Amino acid sequence: MTKIYPYTDFPPRPDEQLNRKLTLVSDEKDTNAALFQNDAAFDWMYPEHFQLISLKQWTPIAVARKAAEFLAEPGARVLDIGSGIGKFCLTAGYHYPETTFHGVEQREELVYFAEEARQYTALDNVSFMNANITQLDFNQFDHFYFYNSFYENIDPDNSIDDTIATSFSLYSYYTQYLYKKLAEKPSGTRLVTFHCFDDVIPLDYCLVNTSYDTLLRMWIKR
């Protein structure tokens, strides 16, 4: 029988996160090096039910690092659209301190845990926002990462939880909205997609590289 974990109300702070400390190393730099060495080490920072869905829902460490390598430029602002528990932004921010990484996520609980992890890792070039993408000013960001966060609208059985409304019409709406916003960006804008349909990619974005069996795609606007 599949074990079902209840949704954690926000607030209060979940009991399982109280007084949780890494004991393997004491130096902050060494602690981060340990956390970002693999997925199991990173996922340790989160409650068990988030660890169990990590493979399906969160960007793997190796993928995040590859995507960040393409997106990172000194002084650039990178937006992760649907940032979940913050795994991409935190990994990218750790490896590329001269770039700022911002995550937007509409589930308040996930933003809470992302911010907890950001504080634990002390990454000042990372931030998270609890918002819908339609509330953002895309002009504030230079490059973008997108791990198909709209897909749960057409595959609700594989959704993170049932705390937000999902529908095919919402999938179409968000896809068209993101397409429009990406189309408005200037030449040179970079985009990385993972497990994503190409219907969100404007025609003037050129595919310049792929990785992980073409599931990870890197684009630059002409």
Query: DSSP letters of 33-46?
Result: HHHTTSHHHHHTTS
Please tell me the distance from the alpha carbon of residue 103 to that of residue 68, in angstroms, as a whole number: 13
Q: How confident is the model at residue 21 (pLDDT cuts 50, 70, 90)?
A: very low
Residues 6+ apart with CB under 8 A from 115: 86, 128
Is 10 domain-assigned? no
Q: How confident is the model at residue 198 (pLDDT cuts 50, 70, 90)?
A: confident
Furthest C-alpha separation in the chain = 52
Distances (CA, A) of 10 to 93, 110, 112, 118, 183: 26, 9, 8, 18, 36
- Domain with residue 108: its CATH number is 3.40.50.150
Provide the β-strand partners of residue 191: 144, 219
Is 38 domain-assigned? yes
Mean pLDDT, all residues of the chain: 85
How confident is the model at residue 159, as a pLDDT? 62
Is 143 domain-assigned? yes
The predicted model gives 191-208 an average pLDDT of: 94
Is 14 domain-assigned? no
φ, ψ of residue 72 to 5 degrees: the values are -75, 125
Is 1 domain-assigned? no
DSSP 65: H
pLDDT of residue 102 exceeding 70, the answer is yes
Is 13 domain-assigned? no
Is 7 domain-assigned? no
Q: What share of the chain is helix, strand, coil (3-state, %, to 5)?
A: 40, 15, 40
How confident is the model at residue 19, as a pLDDT? 42
pLDDT of residue 106 exceeding 80, the answer is yes
Look at 49-58, 67-76, 181-190 and tell me which has the smallest mean pLDDT.
49-58
How confident is the model at residue 74, as a pLDDT? 97
Domain total in the chain? 1
Is 11 domain-assigned? no
Domain assignment of residue 32, given as a range:
24-221
How confident is the model at residue 25, as a pLDDT? 42
How confident is the model at residue 148, as a pLDDT? 86
Please tell me the distance from the alpha carbon of residue 5 to that of residue 50, in angstroms, as a whole number: 9
